[in-house]
Amino acid sequence: MKREQWSSNLGFLLAAAGSAIGLGNLWKFPYIAGSNGGAVFLMLYLVLLILLGTPLLLAEMAVGRATRLNAIDACRAIHPRWGFVGAAGVVGAFVILSYYSVIGGWVLKYLFAYMQHSRLGDADAYYTGFVTRPLEPVLWHLLFAACCCGIVAFGVSKGIERISKIFLPVLLLTLIAIGGYALTLPGASQGLRFLFLPDFSQIHSFSDFASILVRAMGQVFFSLSIGMGTLITYGSYLDRKANLQKNAVLIPLFDLVIALLAGIAILPCVFSFGLEPSAGSGLLFRSLPYVFDHMRGGRWLAIGFFALVFLAAVTSAISLLESIAAFFIDHLHWNRIAAAGLSTLGFALIGVANSLSMGLWNSFTLFGMSLFDLMVFLSDNVLMPIGGFFLCILASRIWGFSSMLREISSNGQYAIRFPGALRWILRWLAPAMILVIFAVSLF
Ligand code: PFF
């Protein structure tokens, strides 16, 4: 069977940017940046994006395009004993999807709630009442999972590429519109100061600085979708002539621009209403609904905003689902619809348990964490760093640096920029830094 391909490099670029841009940009970045020294965090983030993000993206794409296989078989094709790197990625993709899809379901619920009502009322009570219910959040989660399954079942260029091409322009325009409006609110400048001014009062010692560094690294990994085999999979559908170096610069650039725009759109709103900024579900489902409820035209802004978050979450989730489904398609020769359907069934079932762990099953904990929190911990603190670490070793040492360079240069068609630095980063710097995040985040 002929392997599917992106219809153009632009299609790949938008799909890979769609994978990178997700909840990580919209609900994590603004808060993490603001509460970790503002501009200090931004500078470190930028350095790490260039130093770690670009080389790791290049390595993942090169492995995928050279082998034209799913993550597990791609790693195995490079060395028969190294399939475990891809396997860690596929397991990680399952784990991330199992909670990402639950949150995607909440986003859908809020979107529909604002379509029906002009205000949600007490935002805290609304959120807690909803997520702890046994059935309703599960149904929204299943709806979100079904959307992802439908897109992946349509295939690489007809499904994933098509939705990604709509996504990025819509996201940019909506964020610019919301940002423009947010900046006119009284007190907006406080939000910008939180994000952009360096706040040295948060850094008293070397250990404060190290902890900011570790957070910045974790955010680079999560935000760029590194270490989960999604870019190996997306890269495997890429034309041999596409310029990997250009893609490895543009993907982080898009991701950064969207994260900054999200900060400019969200933080001024939060500060203007005298709220404390927060991260994660607190920001999206408690603070922002409060803001929308109390602002003129807030309902329409809420609908635009939640539709946007939904699109961002879907284009990230489909990259994870594709990297699981590709294994079943390549390795077991399943047809695409069966592969997408069964992979969805798998993560959706774990997702049901995750959703129930917010309410009905909340007394059940493992290592002191609810199932939901455990999944987040497992993916962010264990599987992603493991995947990233071994990917560096696989690409730069096991495969061999010169083979990787040959792939990156499309067999000599493009000149390689900074080959010495790339080699040093993939062989030494990136693995060492990942080991540090891993150790610090575990202990
Ligand atoms: N990058 C996505 C985000 O920022 O929300 C999350 C993600 C997608 C992580 C795909 C890992 C992945 F493989």
Residue 370: inside a domain:
yes
Positive or negative: CA dihedral 98, 104, 108, 114: positive
Q: Measured from the CA of 228, which atom of ligand 1 is nearest?
A: 13
Query: 233 alpha carbon to ligand 1 midpoint, in Å?
Result: 14
Mean model confidence pLDDT for the chain: 90
Residue 1: inside a domain:
no
Residue 240: inside a domain:
yes
Positive or negative: CA dihedral 130, 136, 140, 145: positive
pLDDT in tens, 230-257: 999 999 999 999 999 999 999 999 999 9
At 366 the three-state DSSP class reads strand
At 198 the three-state DSSP class reads strand
CA 205, distance to chain mean position in Å, is 31
CA–CA dist 57, 329 (Å, integer): 24
Print the domain residue range for 291: 9-442
pLDDT at 282 over 80: no
Burial 131-157 (b: 16+ CB within 10 A, else e): bebeeebbebbbebbebbbbbbbbbbb
Q: Measured from the CA of 312, which atom of ligand 1 is nearest?
A: 5
- Say what the pLDDT of residue 96 is: 95
- Say what the pLDDT of residue 101 is: 97
Query: 79 alpha carbon to ligand 1 midpoint, in Å?
Result: 27
Own/partner long-range contacts of 395-402 (Cβ < 8 Å, ≥24 apart): 395/59, 395/60, 395/62, 395/63, 395/426, 396/59, 396/423, 396/426, 396/427, 397/427, 398/78, 398/79, 398/82, 399/63, 399/78, 399/79, 401/426, 401/427
Query: 104 alpha carbon to ligand 1 midpoint, in Å?
Result: 13
Residue 226: inside a domain:
yes
Nearest residue (by CA) to ligand 1, atom 11, is 225
Residue 2: inside a domain:
no
Query: 223 alpha carbon to ligand 1 midpoint, in Å?
Result: 6
CATH code, 294: 1.10.4160.10
- Say what the pLDDT of residue 164 is: 87
To which H or E segment does residue 215 belong?
helix 206-224
- Say what the pLDDT of residue 270 is: 85
CA–CA dist 312, 171 (Å, integer): 8
CA–CA dist 94, 411 (Å, integer): 34
Cα→Cα distances 332→73, 286, 327, 344, Å: 11, 44, 7, 17
Using most ligand atoms within 8 A of CB, pick from 70, 223, 224, 225 the residue to mutate for ligand 1: 225
435 C-beta neighbours (distance < 10 Å), count: 12
Nearest residue (by CA) to ligand 1, atom 13, is 225
Query: 44 alpha carbon to ligand 1 midpoint, in Å?
Result: 20
CA–CA dist 252, 47 (Å, integer): 12
pLDDT at 202 over 80: no
Q: With contact defined as beta carbons under 8 Å apart, do 90 and 324 qualify? A: yes
The conformation of residue 38, written as its DSSP 8-state character, comes to B
CA–CA dist 57, 69 (Å, integer): 17
pLDDT in tens, 3-55: 889 989 999 999 999 999 999 998 888 888 877 888 889 999 999 999 899 99
Percent of the chain clearing pLDDT 70 (strictly above): 99
CA–CA dist 350, 354 (Å, integer): 6
- Say what the pLDDT of residue 1 is: 62
Q: Average pLDDT, stretch 183-195? A: 87
pLDDT at 281 over 80: no
Residue 438: inside a domain:
yes
- With cut-offs at 50, 70 and 90, classify the pLDDT of residue 187: confident
Nearest residue (by CA) to ligand 1, atom 7, is 225
pLDDT in tens, 65-105: 999 999 999 999 999 999 999 999 999 999 999 999 999 99
Residue 3: inside a domain:
no
Query: 204 alpha carbon to ligand 1 midpoint, in Å?
Result: 32
Q: Measured from the CA of 22, which atom of ligand 1 is nearest?
A: 5
Q: Average pLDDT, stretch 334-355? A: 95
Using most ligand atoms within 8 A of CB, pick from 223, 321, 383 the residue to mutate for ligand 1: 223
Query: 92 alpha carbon to ligand 1 midpoint, in Å?
Result: 11
| 131-145, 179-193, 308-322, 341-355: range with lowest mean pLDDT | 179-193
Query: 316 alpha carbon to ligand 1 midpoint, in Å?
Result: 6
- With cut-offs at 50, 70 and 90, classify the pLDDT of residue 158: confident
- Say what the pLDDT of residue 66 is: 96
Positive or negative: CA dihedral 380, 386, 392, 394: negative
| 377-381, 405-409, 427-431: range with lowest mean pLDDT | 377-381
Residue 368: inside a domain:
yes
Cα→Cα distances 311→26, 43, 182, 246, 409, Å: 12, 28, 21, 25, 33
Which amino acid, one-letter code, is at 426?
Answer: L
- Please choose, from the candidates 28, 32, 33, the residue with its C-alpha nearest in 3D space to the C-alpha of residue 198: 33
Pocket of ligand 1 (CB under 6 A): 19-20, 22-25, 96, 222-223, 225, 228, 230, 316, 319-320
Number of domains in the chain: 1
- Say what the pLDDT of residue 36 is: 84
416 C-beta neighbours (distance < 10 Å), count: 16
Q: Measured from the CA of 316, which atom of ligand 1 is nearest?
A: 8
CA–CA dist 20, 8 (Å, integer): 19
CA–CA dist 327, 74 (Å, integer): 10
Using most ligand atoms within 8 A of CB, pick from 316, 347, 384 the residue to mutate for ligand 1: 316
Query: 228 alpha carbon to ligand 1 midpoint, in Å?
Result: 9
Q: Average pLDDT, stretch 317-321? A: 96
- Please choose, from the candidates 21, 44, 48, the residue with its C-alpha nearest in 3D space to the C-alpha of residue 33: 44
Nearest residue (by CA) to ligand 1, atom 10, is 225
Place of tokens 């519109």: 177
